[in-house]
Amino acid sequence: MKTIIPVTRSSMPSLEEYTEEIRELWDSRWLTNNGAKHEAFKAELTAFLGVPFAEPVVNGHTALELALGALGITGEVITTPFTFVSTTHAIVRSGLEPVFCDIDSKTCCLDPEKIEDKITERTGAILPVHVYGHVCDTSAIEDIAKRHGLKVIYDAAHTFGERVGEKGIASFGDISCFSFHATKVFHTIEGGAVCFSDPALSERIRETKDFGIRDEEHVDEIGGNGKMNEFSAAMGLCNLRHFHRAVQSRKAAAEHYRERLSEVEGLILPPVQSGVTPNYAYFPVVVDEKLFGKDRNVLAEKLAEKGILVRKYFYPLTSAMECYRGRFKPEETPVALRTAERVLTLPLFEELGVSGAEKVAEEIIRIKNA
């Protein structure tokens, strides 16, 4: 049987550790609605991220919708099409209009030099995405927002645990939103969080994620059900204990990729950002078909033949997806469009190890030279 190397694989605590963590739930029967595990996870998450407020929610998409609603955003939201579709969906589902801005070719994050041309009298917020663990130019973005009186909401799904200098990634913007999906560096099976520093937002976000309920007889907001259950919170408590171990393992694999692939003509490797403590969430490569000798699709197909699974992440642009066809013009973000046509993310997960990264790198080099 052919050995498969998946593009990602969930980190897990031992079965014994997780079983012990959830044992008390069989006694309490308190499985959701801000139980003991939820409250413990919330406290540890807030401390870990170093923010005044971190509100766990059911998933990262809900985090984005809660953030947009809590800040009362109206009109247009400047964002990137080079992202998972959830980012764009959250804007549209909130009754807002996404305005797509192009990306920086190196980091794949929103290009701050192109933001101001997109600002109109209807602009309510900027929603940048930290892509692959690369951090946006937060200083430039927040300077623009301040000058124009705009809110900033970061989609920080890829950057859990990262730091910029001494500042935690959750501290940027008016709100930073995280996904704790099973494929992330840190996960709670499904889950997410809304992080912020303004105490005025705390009660509103807490209520809105619970149908807008203030107490048994009063409903102040038109909310939904965004609560994290106790089993997810328990997984979060376990995985927080092992987060740094997971990152170190991923780091070893990522550094091996960089060492082995840095001289391969036609592969553009991810940048190393000065002052950023990365979490090694992804290892994207951009394939220059003229120099590599084969295009991205051929490379992906030949790797798959050898049991090595890669992902065209992100492709297509959200502005080009069927549900938005005819509404937006992908060609208006040419850097994002060209990157989406050439990018692959290589396998990267805690258990991959240097040996797994070597197998992937060796096969990429063999394919190029074939």
Total structural domains within the chain: 2
Is-contact 162 185, C-beta < 8 A?
A: no
C-beta of residue 102 within 8 angstroms of C-beta of residue 335: yes
pLDDT, position 2: 73
CA–CA distances in Å: residue 86 to residues 26, 89, 94, 214, 318: 34, 5, 12, 28, 9
How much is the pLDDT for 266? Answer: 98
Tell me whether residue 2 is in a domain: no
Residue 320 lies in a domain: yes
Strand order in the sheet with 267-268: 267-268, 283-287, 343-346
Backbone angles phi, psi at 77, to 5 degrees: -130, 120
Residue 325 in any domain: the answer is: yes
Task: In whole angstroms, give the CA distance from residue 33 to residue 138.
Answer: 35
Q: Is the pLDDT of residue 141 over 70?
A: yes
Kindly report, residue by residue over 96-134, the tens digit of the pLDDT: 999 999 999 999 999 999 999 999 999 999 999 999 999
* pLDDT, position 1: 64
**CA gyration radius, the chain:** 21
pLDDT tens by residue, 324-360: 999 999 999 999 999 999 999 999 999 999 999 999 9
Question: Do 142 and 197 belong to one domain?
Answer: yes
Q: What is the mean pLDDT of residues 240-267?
A: 98
Instruction: Answer yes or no: do 40 and 140 share one domain.
Output: yes
The pLDDT score that the predictor gives to residue 137 is 98
Confidence band of 311 (pLDDT split at 50, 70, 90): very high
Residue 334: count other Cβ atoms within 10 Å of its Cβ.
Answer: 11
CATH of the domain at 222: 3.40.640.10
Same structural domain, 268 and 317: yes
Query: Where is the domain boundary, 180, 210, 241?
Result: 241
Measured over all CA atoms, what is the biggest interatomic distance in the chain, rounded to whole angstroms? 71
Let me know: does 153 contact 179? Beta carbons within 8 Å. Answer: no
**Same-domain pairing of 165 and 247:** no
- The overall average pLDDT reported for the chain is 97
E strand or H helix at 76: strand 76-79
pLDDT at site 3: 87
pLDDT score of 313 more than 70: yes
Quote the domain boundaries for residue 324: 243-369
- Which of 206, 241, 276 is a domain's end point? 241
Same domain for 224 and 251, yes or no, is no
Nearest to 226 by CA among 201, 186, 184, 194: 194
Report, as an integer, the average pLDDT of 86-92.
98
Residue 8: inside a domain, yes or no? no
Percent of the chain topping pLDDT 70: 100
Enter the pTM of the model: 0.97
Residues sharing a CB contact under 8 Å with residue 134, sequence separation 6 or more, in sequence order? 107, 108, 109, 158, 270, 271, 273, 276
> Does a structural domain hold residue 6?
no
Closest CA to 343 of 289, 271, 279, 262: 289
Residues 164 and 277 in one domain: no
